[in-house]
Amino acid sequence: MIKETRITLKNVGKINPESIDDYIAAGGYAGLKKALKMEPFSIIDEVLEAGLRGRGGAGFSTGTKKKFTSKSCLTCPQRYVVVNADEGEPGTFKDRVIMENDPHLYIEGTIIAAFSINATKGFIYLRGEYTGSIDKTRKAIAAAYERGFLGKNILDSGFDFDLELKLGAGSYLCGEELTMLESLEGKRGHPRIKPPFPAEKGVFGAPTLVNNVETLSNVPLIIANGKDWYRQFGTERSPGTKIFTISGKVKNPGYYEVEMGVSLRELIWDLAGGMSGDKPFKAALLGGAAGTFVDASMLDERMTYDNLREKGATLGSGAVIVMEEGDSVYNILHNCLRFFKHESCGKCVPCRVGTSMLVKGTEKLRNGVPDKRALLDQMVHESEIMAATSLCPLGQSPILPLKSAARYFAEDLLI
Amino acid sequence: MSTKQILEKFEPRRQNLLMILHALQDNHPQNYLTEEALGETAKHLKLTKSSVYGVAKYYTMFSLKPRGKFVIRVCVSAVCELMKGQEVIGHLENVLGIKSGETTPCGTFTLEIAECLGQCQEAPSMMINEKVFNHLDEQKIREVITEYRKW
C-alpha cells in the first residue's frame, strides 16, 4: 500500500493561501534567502544534479534548460523568466491545486530561477478560465512585493526582479512554450519555428526560461534542502515526486503527489480508492488528450517518463483518466480528436486539415464504411504525416491517443 | 468606466493587448468587445484595426457579439464526457430554451461550450462568469439557473 509523499503540496489545506505569513511560518522563502547568497551557477548546478525534469509534460531536464538560458547571448541586455501556468490539458489540474492553495511556492521558485539566470523581468502566463488561480496569484504577487521578495534590491541582495501576471484567453495551444511567447507579445497564438528555442530567442527576442508551475514549485525545496534530499524521492532517472490528477471511474478522484516510479495500479487502488462501481478496469488515458490509452496489461508498469516512453505510453502532465468496462474508448478518442480540431490554430496545413480529417474518419467508423480496418490504418498513417510535418506539439499529438487506442482497443473502434 | 479610462490604465504596448481586451470585455454589461472598443484599442496601441480584430477573434474567451449578463461555459472535454457531461448541454438548452452559442432573448444568459476547465475530480463541470459549478446533474442545473434568474 503506497502513500502520498507531499513535498510540493505539503502546505495544501494547511495554510491560508492568502497569507504570506502563513507561508513564511511553514518555511516559505527560506529557499530564496539561501539562493540569494549562492552563486547563480551553483543554483543551476544544484537543480541539474537534483535531476529535476520539466513537469509540464515533456520531462526535459530543468537544470539543462536553465544552463542554456543563462549562457545564451551574454550581451543581451535583458533576459526573462516565463511561468507556464496555462494548464489546459484535459484531465489535468495539478497546477491549479498549487496556485489556488499555495501560490507563494511557485512564485518563490520563479524568483530563484530568475536569479539563477540573471533575469530581471518575468511573466506568469495564466489561463483566463482559472479564476481562482488568478485571484490567489494576484494577491500573492502583491504580498511578495510588499515584503521585498519582489521588486528592487530583493532582501538587500542587489538583485532586482519584477513579476507580472498575464492572462490567456481560451487557447489550449498557448500552453506550448513558443506559442505562449507569441501570445505574451500580444499576438495570435501561432507557434514559432524552432530552433531557435526560447533559451536563445524567447519573448521579445531575448533569452527566456519557460518553466511549468509544478516544476518551479520544486525549485525552492531543492535549494532549501539540497539535491541529496531531493534525490531520496523517486528513481535515478526521474527523481522527485509527481502530482497525478486522477479522474473518471474511481472512488476518490483527485490530486495525489507520489514519488516518481509508482505503478498505475497503486495510483488507482491504493490512492484513488479503486474503481467507483462494480465494473472492472478497462482503460486509462494517461497524459490527457495529448496522451495515450493503456489497458490492464500496463497496470504494473512504473510511471516514469522513460519507462512509459519505452512502452509506447506517456506520462505527460500526470493526468490519469480511468475508464471501466462498458465505457467507450471510441467516444473518448473521438472527443480528443474533436478537441485537437477545435484547438488547431490553422497555421500548418497538415494539422489544420488533418485534425478535421481524423474527426471525420472517426465518425465514418460508425457510419458504415466497407473496410473499417483499412480506414483505421489510413487514419493512423495520416496522423503520422501530421506528426512529421506540423510545427508544434498540437499537430504531433493526435497520433498518441489514436495509435494507442488502435493498439489496445481496436475492437471498440471497429464495432 | 469608459473605454478611454480603461485604456489609460495600460501602457501603450502591444504586449498588453490581451489584458486590455479582457478589461474592456469585463467592463461591458453585455460581456463583449464592441467595434468602437477595438478601434480605440488599435489607436491606443498604434496598431491596425485588423491586427486587433485578428487577436480578438482568435481567442475563444473574447466575443465580438453581445452576450448575456451571465456567460455559461460548459466543459465538453474528455473527462466531462466520460462522466455524462454531454447531457449537461442538453439540460441547459432545455432549461434556458436556447441552443449552444445563443443568448436568451431577455439578455440574461449566453450558453457556450468550453474545453477542459480543470475540475476533472468533480466532473461534469461548468462556469457561470467567474464561478465554477461541479457534479452537475439535471436537478443541480435547474437549481443553479433558478438562483441566477433572481439576480
Measured between beta carbons, which residues in chain A are less than 8 angstroms from residue B115?
88, 90, 170, 172, 339, 342-343
Q: Residues 227-266, chain A: which have Cβ within 8 Å of B?
A: 245-249, 253-255
Long-range contacts of B96-105 (CB under 8 A, 24+ apart): B96/B145, B100/B74, B103/B66, B103/B67, B103/B68, B104/B68
Optimal mutation site among B15, B38, B45, interface A, most CBs of chain A within 10 A: B15
Give me the residues of A, 6-35, that contact B with CB < 8 A. none
Length of chain B: 151
Q: What are phi and psi of B71, to 5 degrees?
A: -100, 120
Order of strands, sheet of A281-286, starting from the edge strand that comes earlier in the sequence: A254-259, A241-248, A319-324, A281-286, A292-294
Give the per-residue pLDDT at B110: 98
CA angle B129, B132, B133 (to 5 degrees): 120
Asked if residues A81 and A119 have their Cβ atoms less than 8 Å apart, the reply is yes
Segment B88-112 shows an average pLDDT of 97
**Beta partners for residue B86, in sequence order:** none
User: What is the DSSP secondary structure assignment for residue B11, as one 8-state letter?
Assistant: -
Torsion from C-alpha of B92, B95, B96, B101, nearest 10 degrees: 20
Contact assessment for residue A215 and residue A85, using Cβ atoms and an 8 Å cutoff: no
User: B75 vs chain A: nearest CA distance in angstroms?
Assistant: 10
Residue of chain A nearest B16, judged by CA positions: A186
DSSP secondary structure letter of residue B14:
G
Write out B83-141 in H/E/C secondary structure.
CCCHHHHHHHHHHHCCCCCCECCCCCEEEEEECCCCCHHHCCCEEECCEEECCCCHHHH
Alpha carbon distance A337, A350 (integer Å): 14
In this predicted structure, the answer to whether residue B145 has a pLDDT above a threshold of 90 is yes
Q: What is the complex's ipTM, to 2 decimals? A: 0.97
Instruction: Answer whether A257's CB lies under 8 Å from A97's CB.
Output: no
- pLDDT at position B10, please? 97
pLDDT-derived band at B115 (thresholds 50, 70, 90) equals: very high
Rounded-to-integer distance, Cα B91 and Cα B95, Å = 6
Return the exposure string of A195-222: e unless at least 16 CB atoms fall within 10 Å of the residue's CB, then b: eebbbbbbbeebbbbbbbbbbbbbbbbb
In this structure, are residues A365 and A330 in contact, taking their beta carbons and an 8 Å threshold?
yes
Q: Note whether A169 contacts B82, CB cutoff 8 Å.
A: no
B20-58 confidence digits (pLDDT tens): 999 999 999 999 999 999 999 999 999 999 999 999 999
Q: Tell the residue number behind the cell numbers 478518442, with chain if given.
A: A333
| Partner B contacted by A282 (CB < 8 A) | no
Residue A400 at interface with chain B, using a CB cutoff of 8 Å? no
- CA distance linking residue A138 with residue A268, whole number of Å: 35
Q: Phi/psi of residue A366, each to 5°?
A: -95, -20
Contact call for residues A358 and A387 (beta carbons, < 8 A)? no
Per-residue buried b or exposed e for A247-284, using 16+ beta carbons within 10 Å of the residue's own CB: bbbbeebbbbbbbbbbbbbbbbbbbbebbeeeeebbbb
**Residue A238 bridge partners (DSSP):** none
Residues 6+ away with beta carbon under 8 Å from A70: A40, A41, A44, A116, A117, A118
Residue with cell string 465518425: A363
Q: Which three cell numbers stand for residue A255?
A: 490530486
pLDDT given for residue A415 in this prediction: 85
Q: Rounded to whole angstroms, how far apart are CA atoms A43 and A153?
A: 19
Distance from CA of A41 to the nearest CA of B (A): 31
Domain at A329-413, CATH from 1.20.1440.230, 3.40.50.920, 1.10.150.530, 1.25.40.10: 1.20.1440.230
- In the prediction, which pLDDT does A113 show? 98
Question: Cell numbers of B61, please?
Answer: 474567451
CATH 3.40.30.10 fits B70-149, yes or no: yes
Show the 3-state SS of A309-355: HHCCCCCCCCEEEEEECCCCHHHHHHHHHHHHHHHCCCCCHHHHHHH
What fold, for A241-324?
Ubiquitin-like (UB roll) (3.10.20)
Q: Residue A271 corresponds to which amino acid?
A: L
**Domain chopping of chain A, boundaries:** 20-231, 241-324, 329-413
Report pLDDT for A58.
86
Which stretches does DSSP call E strand in A361-406? none
Does A329-413 match A241-324 at the fold level?
Answer: no
- Give dist(CA A294, CA A44) in Å, integer: 36
CB contact under 8 A, A170 and B121: no
Strand pairing of A121-126 and A162-167?
Answer: parallel
Q: Is A167 in the B-facing interface, judged by CB distances under 8 Å?
A: yes
The number of residues making up chain A comes to 415
* Chain A interface, best mutation among B38, B51, B121, by max A CB count within 10 A: B121
Chain A residues with beta carbon closer than 8 angstroms to that of B13? 186
Q: How far apart are CA A237 and CA A79, in angstroms?
A: 30
* Residue in chain B lying closest to A90 (CA): B116
Nearest CB to B82; choose among A129, A166, A332 = A332
Which of the 8 DSSP states describes residue A268?
A: I
Q: How many CB atoms lie within 10 A of CB A390?
A: 23
Q: What single-letter amino acid sits at B27?
A: N
On whether any CB of chain B is under 8 Å from the CB of A205, the answer is no
B122 neighbors B130 (Cβ within 8 angstroms)? no
Tens of pLDDT, residue by residue, chain A (415 residues): 999 999 999 999 999 999 999 999 999 999 999 999 999 999 999 999 999 999 998 889 999 999 999 999 989 999 999 999 999 999 999 999 999 999 999 999 999 999 999 999 999 999 999 999 999 999 999 999 999 999 999 999 999 999 999 999 999 999 999 999 999 999 999 999 999 999 999 999 999 999 999 999 999 999 999 999 999 999 999 999 999 999 999 999 999 999 999 999 999 999 999 999 999 999 999 999 999 999 999 999 999 999 999 999 999 999 999 999 999 999 999 999 999 999 999 999 999 999 999 999 999 999 878 899 999 999 999 999 999 999 999 999 999 999 999 999 999 999 8
For residue A313, give the C-alpha cell.
505510453
Count H helices and E strands in chain A, helices first.
18, 9
What is the rounded distance in angstroms from the CA atom of residue A239 to the CA atom of residue A243? Answer: 13
Are the Cβ atoms of B121 and A93 closer than 8 angstroms? yes
Question: Across the strands, what pairs with A286?
Answer: A292, A320
pLDDT at B151: 78
Topology (CATH level 3) of domain A20-231: Rossmann fold (3.40.50)
Other beta carbons within 10 angstroms of residue A328's beta carbon come to 18
From chain B, pick out residues whose CB is under 8 angstroms from the CB of A248: 79, 82-83
Of A247, A408, A400, nearest in space to A321 by CA: A247
